[in-house]
Amino acid sequence: MQPLARSLACALIVLSIARAQACATARVVSFGKATRWADGWASFLLSDRPISFFPARGVNLVAINASTEEVIFARSYKKAPDQLKKDLQDVALDTVVLVALKGGADQESLQALSLVHASLFPVLAEGEGYAFIAGRGGVPITEDLGRVADATS
Ligand SMILES: *[C@@H]1O[C@H](CO)[C@@H](O)[C@H](O)[C@H]1NC(C)=O
């Protein structure tokens, strides 16, 4: 697979400077309640390796530095829409935002995702998984929902 096609952090950087290097892929997987995980399940991977963060119920957010591909922060928001909004507003432009739902969330927290131009959350059904990746400047890269939601940059 072409590094450019599979990489979000690098696609955004390398397009302009044509640096030949292996780039990280970001992947977000969110399993709905109807899967074998009755409470849902969420997982964040960078270059196929899970990041060291254990998602909790609700919206989970991981911010990645697009240049260094390092995790800046990883947080869970259980009925904390104001904190989620603040964090989404505060991320720097060179940040890649990964979002996974685990088990469900309140409407206000889902609504907050419009700050990074997520668009599918209004049609999210109860118990479904939801995965979203936004690139630098909040440009949506990929978004998925369903029994198993799988978004790859
Ligand atoms: C990303 O890393 C670069 C290089 O270390 C740094 O200059 C920049 O401020 C970082 N950006 C964020 C949002 O952490």
pLDDT interval class at 4 (50, 70, 90): very low
The pLDDT score that the predictor gives to residue 23 is 65
What are the Cα distances from residue 41, in Å, to 24, 68, 73, 120, 143?
23, 27, 19, 19, 17
The pLDDT score that the predictor gives to residue 148 is 93
Query: Is residue 151 assigned to a domain?
Result: no
Query: Which of 62, 67, 93 is the best mutation target for the ligand 1 pocket, counting ligand atoms within 8 Å of the beta carbon and taking the most?
Result: 67
Query: Which of 94, 96, 136 is the best mutation target for the ligand 1 pocket, counting ligand atoms within 8 Å of the beta carbon and taking the most?
Result: 94
**Cβ < 6 A, ligand 1 pocket:** 65, 67-68, 72, 92, 94-95
Give per-residue burial for 120-143: e unless 16+ CB within 10 Å, then b: bbeebeeebbbbbbbbbebebbbb
Query: Is residue 89 assigned to a domain?
Result: yes
Looking at the predicted structure, is the pLDDT value of residue 16 above 70?
Answer: no
H or E segment to which residue 138 belongs: none
Q: How far apart are CA 23 and CA 126, in angstroms?
A: 35
Model confidence pTM above 0.75: yes
Query: Is residue 12 assigned to a domain?
Result: yes
81 in Cβ contact with 112 (< 8 Å) = yes
Mean pLDDT of 50-57: 94
Query: Is residue 74 assigned to a domain?
Result: yes
Structure-model confidence comparison of residues 109 and 7, the more confident one: 109
Q: How far apart are CA 28 and CA 100, in angstroms?
A: 6
Query: Is residue 149 assigned to a domain?
Result: no
In the predicted model, what is the mean pLDDT of the chain? 84
Query: Is residue 73 assigned to a domain?
Result: yes
Q: What is the pLDDT of residues 67-92, one digit of tens each?
A: 888 999 999 999 899 999 999 999 99
From ligand 1's centre to the CA of 65, what distance in Å?
6
Looking at the predicted structure, is the pLDDT value of residue 133 above 70?
Answer: yes
The boundaries of the domain holding residue 71 are 3-144
Q: What is the pLDDT of residues 109-119, one digit of tens each?
A: 999 999 999 99
pLDDT interval class at 11 (50, 70, 90): very low
Shortest-distance atom of ligand 1 to CA 95: 13
Query: Is residue 150 assigned to a domain?
Result: no
Query: Is residue 65 assigned to a domain?
Result: yes
> How many domains are contained in the chain?
1
Mean pLDDT of 12-20: 38
From ligand 1's centre to the CA of 22, what distance in Å?
19
Name the least confident of 5-14, 46-55, 99-108. 5-14
